[in-house]
């Protein structure tokens, strides 16, 4: 599973300004932004996969084994 997202860069004017306001380095700001973007993209991809899995389970209940009794 390859997660695709747009990475922020340290040289972006908005990142530099945000780093200045936050009193942090641009590298730290980019790390936080990229982590959030990755997590969002990963969650979106995972939700799409689970949606397909739930649909298949609904359409084909015979594929789901009964628990041990």
35 in any annotated domain: yes
Q: Quick one: how far is CA 1 from the chain centroid?
A: 12
End-to-end CA distance of the chain: 36
User: Any idea which residue has 């990755």 for tokens?
Assistant: 38
Predicted TM-score of the model (pTM):
0.78
What pLDDT is stored for residue 1 in this prediction? 80
Query: Which residue range forms the structural domain that includes residue 43?
Result: 13-63
Would the pLDDT of 54 be above 90? yes
68 domain-assigned: no
Q: Is residue 37 part of a domain?
A: yes
Determine the Cα–Cα distance for residues 35 and 50; give it in Å rounded to an integer. 22
For residue 67, name the pLDDT band (cuts at 50, 70, 90). low
Task: Report how many domains make up the chain.
Answer: 1
Distance from C-alpha of 69 to C-alpha of 64, rounded to nearest angstrom:
15
Sign of the torsion formed by the C-alpha atoms of 17, 21, 25 and 28: negative
Is 5 a member of any domain?
A: no
Q: Compute the distance between CA of residue 17 and CA of residue 36 in angstroms, rounded to an integer.
A: 19
In this predicted model, what pLDDT tens digit does every residue of 1-43 receive, in sequence order?
899 999 999 999 999 999 999 999 999 999 999 999 999 999 9
């Amino acid at each position: 599973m390859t997660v695709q997202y747009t990475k922020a860069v340290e040289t972006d004017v908005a990142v530099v300004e945000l780093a200045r306001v936050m009193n942090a380095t641009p590298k730290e700001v980019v790390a936080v932004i990229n982590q959030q973007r990755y997590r969002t993209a990963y969650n979106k991809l995972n939700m799409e996969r689970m949606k397909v899995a739930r649909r298949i389970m609904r359409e084909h209940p015979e594929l789901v084994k009964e628990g041990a009794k």
